[in-house]
Amino acid sequence: MGLTRWFRRGPSDEEMREELEAHLAMRAEHDGVGHAAARRRLGNVLQTREAMRRVWVAEWWDTLRQDAHDTWRSWRRRPAFALAAVLVLALGIGASLALFAALDRVLFRPLPYADPARLVSVGLLSAPPNTGFEDQTESVPDRGYVRTWATTPAPFESVTAMNTFTCEISEAQPEGIRCGRVEHNFLRVLGVRVAAGRDFSPADDVRGTPRVALISHALWVRRYGSNPRVVERTLNLETPMGLWSPVRIVGVLPEDFEMPLEAADILVPAQLRPLDPKVPFASSIVALGRLRQDVTPERATRMLEPQLKAMSEGIPSSFRVAWRVQPLRDRRVGDAALIGWLLMGAVATLLLIAGVNVTNLLLARVAERRREFALRAAIGAGRMQLVRLALNESVLLSLAAGGVGLLGAFALLRTFAAMAPPGIPGIANAAIDVRVFAVAILLGLLTGASIGVWPAISVFRVGDGQGLRATGTASPGARPRGRFALVTTQIALTVALLGGSALLLRSLWNVASVPLGIDAERVVTLTAYLSRSRYTSEQGAAFFQELLARARSTPGAVSAALSDAPPPLPPPGRGSFDIEGRQAAPGAPQPVIGLRSATPQHFETFRIPLIRGRAFQESDSVGEPVIILNESAERLLFAGEPALGRRIRPPILGFANGKAVQSPWRTVIGVFADVRNGQRVTDDPSPEAYMMVERDPWSPFISCLSLRTTARPVDAAAYLRQIAADLDPQQLVTIQTGDELLTLLTARPRFLAWLLTAFAGLALLLAASGLYSVASYLVAQRRRDIGVRIAIGASPRDVARQVVGEGGRWIIGGVIAGSALGWMGTRALQSQLYQVQPLDPWSWTGALLTLALVLMIAIFRPAYRAAHVDPVAALRAD
């Protein structure tokens, strides 16, 4: 069968016509009849020519159709087989597709910018001394940026700066959104063009010029109904820097545009402050650069070294400061990539198990169809044809499964996206798109080819003509070794998945049972961001105090408090404290302590235990300024000496009219137990101080009300929503129950643990069904053999034991191989485990016990059937 044959051109239409005409003429001449009679003898000339042409044009297509038809017919005869195979494969392919769709942006898809490999995030990492705090992401002081990077430094072709903040469109329908401040060249550095209107110009970026804005495509559709005349319209923007009005819209961003890091709906020119000696330090920004051709991030870091000093001006010299240049993609994806690969590995294992399962079914089917294949061979089908038929069947199975899986992936993707923890970029916009579609086809073909190889080989053997002679039950000694080996493989893979999921579940359990230092079960919180255009500071404070008063009178209210952030969220402020009567040596490290503001009942509401002293009282709002520490802060500041009664001074509280506001000395009146207050639950509690909302400068615009209640959390949430709506119907509020707050913190371990457990459960099910089907096959094949043994006196127990023993050998093989596999695989899990070792005996014992139990159930029925073979019937069967 040469390849050239497939491409050889056949005779032309003209030749075919001539050939038939010659035939008709010869026939007429030979029979001595007219042309018409010869035509009648031939039948339909047109149809004949069509048949001839089809031979040349689309033979492969015909064959494919014919095979598909054959396969379809054989499926219709055995619908249970086809259904089982398609569903099993669809499970594996569907889960893979959904996960691929969810993680495409994290793992595979390049950033949606021009030449994205050269885009880097560049900035400083700083670590204050002796604190344990360390920047995880690089940032740049805006002053240093303006001063030293006015001309683009050498490793870069261009640089740009940005940051994002919460803002509000304060018009008829107020809407809270995210805004981005960007330099005018931002889009050009990324290589993005606006969809409508114009990009920012250098003139827009000069401080003092009227504010202009670019809006996202989503905002354009949502708020402006895709009106093409939106350009040149104006809007009012409420920002932390004050009310900007009017802001002129100059353009619309493309639909597929994504911000490099945090999302934003409106971009405004950064209008970075020109150098002003009176303002020491304003804010930090994110700097992005496009590297010159052939400069690696490492080389860029070295090239920037001389500028470190100039850039880090304003950062105390005791801080450790270093450059970091990292690919933008890495910063964007962060450690989500690790989770992505873990899940991909798990789902690939699941797909593998599903494939092995179907291979097993196919092998059983080939054995069943031996005689059919042999007959086909006898009447002229070549071996290759039989192999093709077998391969086609598996490919068609997988393609059908790919289709079903694609449908399933739609539903699964929603679930993944809903479950996904924060910090996995792009998962919210993940969709089943062309890429997923292509992967579906690819996976279908690949799976089909790989599950079909073995069955095809066994068909090839059937083709030798021996098949016709074989009877339905194979020779008694034959063992389906291959099929058992497949079951062993399945079991091994399942062990690895089960072990991994057991570890993650243990770890999740540990995370969930970390004592947080608070009792939030019966607490409901309400957070509000007040608009500065609708509230003055006094009105804001009054709003929250009124909210507090009304919350206290809701049914079931036990206690209520205000704070600028509820635990276990990190304290909003931090800084170093002075201690009265102690002169810090110049340049000596100063500990950094978190700073939170709260009303007196805060501690009661969250049930934070009092260690020494007392909580705030109403009377503290006048007179001597006071402060409360947690145990870590007390230890850090006073190193074992009693803190009560000592006076300390918090860091600079802010700027007013360009001058730093220095806090007065405050007396320590109480020490409370530590509360988990890191970014993650598993972070150790860090030192923290509390100041009193009533008398200290706190932001009256952003605040959180916490209510402890005996009412059901759902009801309490409804009460809070109601009182907020009564006070100000336009105000947007976020209400979270304590459980929700805590759930958010454990989102990532939960996501991982549940997904992996689901995969492992499915894998276990597949492995069990594989074992069941092979053991049943074995018993059916040996009916006669078993019958003889029972006839000559073997007890049913012996027979059952033999079946279980045979299966058991393969199970044990699988468990051993799987443990080795799991031992290697779970090392990758290490970073995701909390207080569990990868070789944790409990997890592995639990996993193996579950496995053993399920597999025993799977093999029970075949063993039972073997034990109850009726010897007479079995011997008479043939």
Partner 1 sequence: MAQENPQAALELLILKTLAAGPNHGFGIALHIDETSSGLLRVEEGSLYPALHRLDKAGFIDAEWTVTENGRRARIYRLTKPGRKRLKEIEESWNTLAEGVKRVLRWA
**HEC-encoded secondary structure of 373-426:** HHHHHHCCCCHHHHHHHHHHHHHHHHHHHHHHHHHHHHHHHHHHHHHCCCCCCC
| Chain centroid offset of residue 730 CA | 35
- Smallest gap from Cβ 45 to partner 1, in A, equals 8
- Smallest gap from Cβ 373 to partner 1, in A, equals 13
Position 69 contacts partner 1 (CB under 8 A): no
The two structure tokens encoding residue 383? 């071996």
Residue from 118, 181, 370, 376 touching partner 1 (CB under 8 A): that is 376
Position 20 contacts partner 1 (CB under 8 A): yes
**Choice between 31 and 330, CB closer to partner 1:** 31
Following DSSP, what letter does each residue of 495-550 receive, concatenated? HHHHHHHHHHHHHHHHHHTS--SS--TTEEEEEEE--TTT--HHHHHHHHHHHHHH
Task: Mark out the alpha helices in 32-174 (DSSP H runs).
Answer: 35-42, 45-57, 59-77, 79-107, 142-148
* Interaction pattern, residues 385-404, with partner 1; x per rule: CB under 8 A: x-------------------
Q: Report how far residue 217's alpha carbon sits from residue 445's, in angstroms, rounded to the nearest whole number.
A: 38
Q: Report how far residue 474's alpha carbon sits from residue 872's, in angstroms, rounded to the nearest whole number.
A: 19
Looking at 40-48, 103-111, 240-248, 504-512, which segment touches partner 1 (CB under 8 A)? 40-48
- Smallest gap from Cβ 1 to partner 1, in A, equals 8
Residue from 12, 13, 18, 725 touching partner 1 (CB under 8 A): that is 18
- Smallest gap from Cβ 474 to partner 1, in A, equals 22
Residue from 3, 7, 32, 43 touching partner 1 (CB under 8 A): that is 43
The two structure tokens encoding residue 317? 């010299």
Q: Are 274 and 146 in contact (CB under 8 A)?
A: yes
* Nearest partner of 620 among 710, 514, 696, judged by Cα: 696
- Smallest gap from Cβ 453 to partner 1, in A, equals 23
- Smallest gap from Cβ 48 to partner 1, in A, equals 5
Q: Report how far residue 742's alpha carbon sits from residue 516's, in angstroms, rounded to the nearest whole number.
A: 9
Position 384 contacts partner 1 (CB under 8 A): no
Looking at 48-56, 482-490, 497-505, 526-534, which segment touches partner 1 (CB under 8 A)? 48-56
Position 58 contacts partner 1 (CB under 8 A): no
Q: Which amino acid is at 328?
A: L
- Smallest gap from Cβ 17 to partner 1, in A, equals 11
Position 15 contacts partner 1 (CB under 8 A): yes
- Smallest gap from Cβ 776 to partner 1, in A, equals 33
* Nearest partner of 336 among 236, 457, 421, 259, judged by Cα: 421
- Smallest gap from Cβ 25 to partner 1, in A, equals 7
Q: Are 502 and 836 in contact (CB under 8 A)?
A: no
Looking at 20-28, 101-109, 606-614, 755-763, which segment touches partner 1 (CB under 8 A)? 20-28
**Choice between 18 and 798, CB closer to partner 1:** 18
Residue from 33, 35, 59, 726 touching partner 1 (CB under 8 A): that is 59
> Could you give the dihedral angle defined by the CA atoms of residues 224, 226, 229 and 232, in that order, rounded to the nearest 10 degrees?
50
Position 63 contacts partner 1 (CB under 8 A): yes
Beta-carbon count within 10 A of 381 CB: 16
Going from the C-alpha of 158 to that of each of 184, 187, 340, 484, the distances in angstroms are 12, 11, 32, 62
- Smallest gap from Cβ 52 to partner 1, in A, equals 5
Position 798 contacts partner 1 (CB under 8 A): no
- Smallest gap from Cβ 330 to partner 1, in A, equals 56
Looking at 54-62, 80-88, 318-326, 716-724, which segment touches partner 1 (CB under 8 A)? 54-62
**Choice between 445 and 470, CB closer to partner 1:** 470
**Choice between 381 and 419, CB closer to partner 1:** 381
Position 8 contacts partner 1 (CB under 8 A): yes
Position 12 contacts partner 1 (CB under 8 A): no
Following DSSP, what letter does each residue of 330-368 receive, concatenated? HHHHTTHHHHHHHHHHHHHHHHHHHHHHHHHHHHHHHHH
Q: Which amino acid is at 501?
A: S
Q: Which amino acid is at 683?
A: D
**Choice between 84 and 381, CB closer to partner 1:** 381
Position 352 contacts partner 1 (CB under 8 A): no
- Smallest gap from Cβ 56 to partner 1, in A, equals 6
Residue from 3, 7, 30, 513 touching partner 1 (CB under 8 A): that is 30
Position 52 contacts partner 1 (CB under 8 A): yes
Q: Report how far residue 422's alpha carbon sits from residue 309's, in angstroms, rounded to the nearest whole number.
A: 35
* Interaction pattern, residues 399-438, with partner 1; x per rule: CB under 8 A: ----------------------------------------
| End-to-end CA, the chain | 42
- Smallest gap from Cβ 27 to partner 1, in A, equals 6
* Nearest partner of 81 among 383, 298, 419, 358, judged by Cα: 358
**Choice between 387 and 518, CB closer to partner 1:** 387
Position 857 contacts partner 1 (CB under 8 A): no
Looking at 36-44, 296-304, 542-550, 774-782, which segment touches partner 1 (CB under 8 A)? 36-44
Q: Are 297 and 326 in contact (CB under 8 A)?
A: yes
- Smallest gap from Cβ 395 to partner 1, in A, equals 19
The two structure tokens encoding residue 330? 């890495």
Compute and round to an integer the Cα radius of gyration of the chain. Answer: 37
Q: DSSP class of residue 684?
A: P
Residue from 172, 379, 434, 714 touching partner 1 (CB under 8 A): that is 379
Going from the C-alpha of 67 to that of each of 72, 385, 388, the distances in angstroms are 8, 10, 9
Position 378 contacts partner 1 (CB under 8 A): yes
Position 44 contacts partner 1 (CB under 8 A): yes
Going from the C-alpha of 584 to that of each of 31, 321, 581, 621, the distances in angstroms are 125, 22, 10, 30
Position 381 contacts partner 1 (CB under 8 A): yes
Position 461 contacts partner 1 (CB under 8 A): no
Residue from 36, 42, 154, 428 touching partner 1 (CB under 8 A): that is 42
Going from the C-alpha of 152 to that of each of 186, 260, 304, the distances in angstroms are 14, 20, 11
Position 25 contacts partner 1 (CB under 8 A): yes
- Smallest gap from Cβ 66 to partner 1, in A, equals 7
**Choice between 44 and 679, CB closer to partner 1:** 44
With DSSP H G I counted as helix, E B as strand and the rest as coil, what are the percentages for the chain, rounded to 5? 50, 15, 30
- Smallest gap from Cβ 26 to partner 1, in A, equals 4
Buried b / exposed e along 147-170 (16+ C-beta atoms within 10 A): ebbeeebebbeebbbbbbeebbbb
- Smallest gap from Cβ 11 to partner 1, in A, equals 7
Position 618 contacts partner 1 (CB under 8 A): no
Residue from 12, 34, 37, 41 touching partner 1 (CB under 8 A): that is 41
Position 51 contacts partner 1 (CB under 8 A): yes
Residue from 12, 33, 36, 54 touching partner 1 (CB under 8 A): that is 54
Task: Mark out the alpha helices in 567-621 (DSSP H runs).
Answer: 602-605
Q: Report how far residue 264's alpha carbon sits from residue 219's, in angstroms, rounded to the nearest whole number.
A: 10
Residue from 34, 36, 37, 47 touching partner 1 (CB under 8 A): that is 47
- Taking each helix axis from N to C end, the angle separating 59-77 and 79-107, rounded to the nearest 10 degrees, works out to 120
Interface residues with partner 1 (CB under 8 A) are 1-2, 5, 8, 10-11, 15-16, 18-20, 22-23, 25-27, 29-30, 41-44, 47-48, 51-52, 54-56, 59, 63, 66, 376-381, 385
